[in-house]
């Protein structure tokens, strides 16, 4: 819930973003700079407390005397920009393996105007006592800044952001417990991890034992994020909400989750892996351009080798779960019907896991355009070769006759109340079929062509009655989303073809064989 204090803080910080945008600082770059400066200010406050409460956050020793926040406050003009740049470099090379190192490693100053940098330091951040702000204020303020940053389409920030209303509904269904170990292998800015932690604190706050509280903040919740800049935002998001310690182990790992089998398993996996079929990794450059690499992960714990990263994430999450562990994963439609590797994975999932629920989502709720997605809920079970673990898959159709947009008609948590009720988390055996909630048996599912889970049975009245058509802006938004999705796929194919030609040219050059055509175009 957004409080007046949170709103005041967000408005104060966000208004300055408009000033910096004119200097080429994107919204997500602005949030990243806030991350560095907020951390330094809070570290300075921690070191200024009375002796018994004092905490040494920054590196200690003669080389660090006078460094940190005080150094920035006292500097002006070009000296401030130079001091800030060197401070970020030095901090990034210290305390390896800690949250502190994750936040500062590779950090760069994006605010080149010293006067504007000084105003951000002295007038906006410096005048707040961040240690006195409760985690609900500073944490929620940071979370809302991330949400606003996700609107910056050019930076690609939206691809890391799942609607918080959807996350809350999913968490209300899976109901984390203090004994759970919780992870997100594609955590983005940490929304799922944060929601799970907040659920635990809200439901079990007074009954949590000291051991459970330590586990919550020291490794019982962890995430993985491929893009370093996004990983540091996730780490700061958790840190500001009281999860993790500055000099404690990293709770967010900046690495490719798919590259290796899991080092440790979890009892609960919550995830929204990045969308896109063939481009396994998309990295955004300083200018907003994207580079793609098509990678087929070869892992012995995978059922099949494929370049489709969503299918790889399904396999990774299946491997990541403990026995009796449970997962809730947001996945695009192609995972439901794609043949070949897709069919193999669906057969194995239905047989070896209990795939008990699927929520079909409407368009218009994600920042990435043209996304048609679903949430799959499944549990890992002990080996049972003689019979499949999935007896019934309950499908909730939240897509038919539902129309949302990011601004005019955003998805709200209350809109998902019916699904959460139908989910029947207390006892799934008591589920009741409704117009939108329908069960399908294992035999029915495997009898479908390619074991397709792309299941619909409702008819959209807006397609039958011209008088009940969606508003023109909703239709236009849907068209734009579909076109954008198609363009993204064509761009991925074009990039892959260009990279293939360039690689062929390089190989031919090494072997001294001429290649027809100009590969530079």
**Choice among 68-72, 228-232, 342-346, 479-483 with the minimum mean pLDDT:** 479-483
**Is it the case that residue 467 has pLDDT exceeding 60?**
no
442 CB neighbour count, 10 Å cutoff? 17
179 and 48 together in one domain = no
Residues 6+ apart with CB under 8 A from 356: 377, 378, 379, 390, 392, 393, 394, 428
76/205 Cα distance (integer angstroms): 45
213 and 285 together in one domain = yes
Q: Closest Cα to residue 262, out of 327, 169, 172?
A: 327
91/516 Cα distance (integer angstroms): 50
115 and 174 together in one domain = no
Q: pLDDT band for 465, please (50, 70, 90 cuts).
A: low
Exposed/middle/buried for residue 509 (C-beta within 10 Å: 0-12, 13-18, 19+):
exposed
Rounded average pLDDT over 441-452: 97
Q: Determine how β-strand 373-380 pairs with β-strand 321-332.
A: antiparallel
131 and 221 together in one domain = no
Q: pLDDT band for 336, please (50, 70, 90 cuts).
A: very high
**When comparing pLDDT for 477 and 349, which is higher?**
349
100 and 216 together in one domain = no
User: What's the distance, CA 516 to chain centroid?
Assistant: 43
Residue 479 lies in a domain: no
Q: Closest Cα to residue 296, out of 274, 281, 282, 283?
A: 281
Residue 247 lies in a domain: yes
Q: Model's pTM, two decimal places?
A: 0.80
Residue 149 lies in a domain: no
Encoded tokens for 112: 């080149």
> Which segments within 45-119 are labelled E, that is strand?
none
283/251 Cα distance (integer angstroms): 22
Residue 217 lies in a domain: yes
114 and 242 together in one domain = no
Residue 512 lies in a domain: no
Residue 504 lies in a domain: no
Residue 105 lies in a domain: yes
Largest CA distance in the chain: 76
**Is it the case that residue 158 has pLDDT exceeding 60?**
no
Tell me the percentage of the chain whose pLDDT exceeds 90: 39
* Domain coverage including residue 69: 4-143
- Angle (CA) 296-274-105 rounded to 5° is 90
Q: pLDDT band for 521, please (50, 70, 90 cuts).
A: very low
277 and 200 together in one domain = yes
Domain boundary among 435, 461, 487: 461
336 and 368 together in one domain = yes
DSSP, residue by residue, 403-456: ---SSSS---GGGGHHHHHHH-TT-GGG----SSEEEEEHHHHHTSGGG-----
**Choice among 124-138, 231-245, 272-286, 415-429 with the minimum mean pLDDT:** 272-286
171 and 137 together in one domain = no
**When comparing pLDDT for 484 and 424, which is higher?**
424
Encoded tokens for 145: 């800044």
- 364-393: per-residue pLDDT in tens? 887 666 678 999 999 999 998 889 999 999
Domain boundary among 410, 427, 461: 461
Q: What is the pLDDT of residue 473?
A: 60
Contact 377, 328 (CB under 8 A): yes
CATH code for the domain in which residue 258 is found = 3.40.50.150
47 and 184 together in one domain = no
33/89 Cα distance (integer angstroms): 14
- 75-113: per-residue pLDDT in tens? 999 999 999 999 999 888 888 888 888 888 888 888 888
414/402 Cα distance (integer angstroms): 14
Q: What is the DSSP letter of 467?
A: G
User: What's the distance, CA 1 to chain centroid?
Assistant: 21
Residue 81 lies in a domain: yes
Contact 224, 186 (CB under 8 A): yes
CATH code for the domain in which residue 38 is found = 1.20.1260.30
32/28 Cα distance (integer angstroms): 6
Q: What is the pLDDT of residue 287?
A: 37
Distance in angstroms between the alpha carbons of the first and the last residue of the chain: 52
118 and 196 together in one domain = no
- Angle (CA) 127-239-290 rounded to 5° is 95
76/431 Cα distance (integer angstroms): 65
| Count of domains observed in the chain | 2
Domain boundary among 431, 446, 461: 461
134 and 224 together in one domain = no
312/295 Cα distance (integer angstroms): 10
**Which sign, positive or negative, has the C-alpha torsion 2, 8, 13, 15?**
positive
Q: What is the pLDDT of residue 1?
A: 46
Q: pLDDT band for 5, please (50, 70, 90 cuts).
A: low
């Amino acid at each position: 819930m957004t409080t007046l204090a949170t709103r005041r803080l967000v408005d104060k910080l966000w208004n300055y973003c408009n000033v910096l945008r004119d200097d080429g600082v994107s919204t997500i770059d602005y949030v990243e700079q806030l991350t560095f400066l907020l951390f330094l200010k809070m570290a300075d406050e921690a070191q200024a407390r009375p002796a018994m409460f004092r905490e040494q956050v920054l590196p200690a020793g003669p080389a660090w005397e006078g460094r940190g926040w005080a150094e920035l406050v006292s500097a002006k003009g070009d000296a401030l920009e130079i001091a800030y740049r060197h401070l970020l470099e030095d901090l990034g090379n210290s305390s390896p393996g800690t949250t502190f190192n994750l936040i500062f490693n590779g950090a760069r100053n994006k605010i080149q105007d010293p006067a504007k940098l000084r105003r951000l330091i002295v007038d906006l951040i410096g005048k707040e006592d961040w240690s006195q702000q409760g985690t609900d204020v500073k944490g929620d303020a940071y979370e809302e800044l991330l949400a606003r940053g996700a609107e910056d389409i050019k930076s690609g920030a939206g691809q890391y952001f799942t609607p918080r209303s959807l996350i809350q509904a999913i968490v209300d269904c899976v109901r984390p417990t203090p004994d759970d170990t919780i992870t997100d292998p594609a955590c983005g800015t940490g929304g799922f991890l944060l929601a799970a932690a907040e659920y635990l604190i809200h439901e079990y706050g007074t009954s949590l034992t000291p051991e459970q509280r330590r586990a919550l903040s020291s490794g019982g919740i962890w995430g993985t994020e491929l893009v370093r800049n996004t990983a540091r935002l996730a780490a700061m998001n958790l840190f500001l909400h009281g999860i993790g310690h500055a000099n404690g182990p990293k709770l967010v790992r900046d690495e490719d989750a798919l590259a290796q089998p899991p080092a440790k398993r979890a009892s609960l996996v919550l995830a929204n892996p990045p969308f896109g079929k063939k481009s396994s990794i998309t990295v955004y450059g300083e200018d907003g351009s994207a580079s793609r690499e098509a990678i087929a992960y070869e892992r012995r714990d995978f059922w099949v080798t494929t370049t489709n990263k969503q299918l790889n994430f399904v396999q990774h999450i299946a491997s990541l779960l403990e026995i009796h562990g449970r997962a809730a994963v947001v996945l695009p439609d192609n995972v439901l019907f794609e043949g070949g590797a897709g069919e193999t994975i669906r057969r194995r999932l239905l047989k070896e896991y209990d795939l008990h629920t699927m929520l079909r989502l409407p368009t218009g709720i994600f920042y990435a355009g043209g996304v048609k997605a679903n949430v799959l809920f499944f549990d890992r079970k002990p080996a049972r070769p003689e019979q499949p673990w999935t007896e019934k898959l309950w499908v909730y159709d939240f897509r038919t006759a539902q129309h949302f947009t990011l601004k005019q008609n955003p998805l709200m948590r209350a809109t998902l109340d019916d699904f959460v009720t139908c989910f029947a988390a207390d006892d799934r055996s008591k589920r009741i079929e409704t117009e939108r909630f329908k069960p399908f048996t294992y035999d029915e599912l495997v009898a479908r062509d390619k074991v397709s889970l792309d299941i619909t049975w409702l008819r959209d009245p807006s397609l039958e009655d011209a008088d009940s058509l969606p508003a023109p802006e909703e239709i236009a938004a849907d068209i734009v989303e579909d076109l954008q999705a198609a363009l993204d796929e064509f761009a991925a194919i074009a990039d892959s073809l260009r990279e293939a030609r360039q690689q062929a040219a390089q190989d031919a050059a090494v072997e001294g064989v001429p290649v027809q055509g100009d590969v530079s175009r």
